[in-house]
């Protein structure tokens, strides 16, 4: 059964546009809702990834391609997640020179001071 992917109907483009509008509105609404920052970040990243998949499937015509091409397209995202977690522990919690600022400009302790204090005793 062959798929004719040379022409995608206007209805599919309109439906895709509506889904992107809904997901963008959802992401904007998340910014105004009071919730823990970690939950907010996960929801925003999840919404963004859903939009990426939708755009890739429809406008890049990946839904008609073989799985190896799809994996080749999305492998940089997987690698960036792996690299993030590989380097996160080295800089966030153990580097005493790493200073994290809140959105209000306050310094957030990174735990390195407590770690050094317990080793000096």
pLDDT tens, residue by residue, 40-67:
989 998 998 889 888 877 777 666 666 7
Q: Are 91 and 98 in contact (CB under 8 A)?
A: yes
Does residue 93 have a pLDDT over 60?
no
The secondary structure element, H or E, covering residue 94 is none
pTM: 0.50
Q: Are 96 and 112 in contact (CB under 8 A)?
A: yes
81 band by pLDDT with thresholds 50, 70 and 90: confident
Q: How far apart are CA 103 and CA 33, in angstroms?
A: 16
Does residue 102 have a pLDDT over 70?
no
* Domain coordinates in residue numbering, the chain: 1-65, 67-121
Does residue 6 have a pLDDT over 60?
no
Backbone angles phi, psi at 90, to 5 degrees: -75, -30
CA-CA-CA-CA torsion for 62, 72, 45, 24, nearest 10 degrees? -30
Does residue 115 have a pLDDT over 60?
no
What number is the average pLDDT over the span 15-40? Answer: 92
Q: How far apart are CA 117 and CA 112, in angstroms?
A: 9
């Amino acid at each position: 059964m062959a798929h004719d992917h040379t022409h995608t109907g206007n209805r599919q483009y309109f439906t895709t546009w509506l889904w992107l509008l809904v997901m963008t509105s959802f992401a904007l609404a998340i910014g105004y809702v009071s919730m823990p920052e970690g939950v907010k970040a996960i929801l925003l990243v999840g919404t963004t990834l859903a939009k990426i998949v939708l755009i890739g499937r429809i406008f890049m015509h990946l839904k008609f391609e073989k799985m190896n091409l799809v994996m080749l397209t999305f492998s940089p995202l997987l690698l960036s997640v792996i690299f993030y977690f590989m380097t996160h522990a080295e800089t966030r919690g153990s580097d005493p020179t790493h200073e994290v600022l809140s959105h209000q400009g306050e310094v957030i302790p990174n735990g390195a001071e407590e770690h050094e204090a317990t080793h000096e005793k």
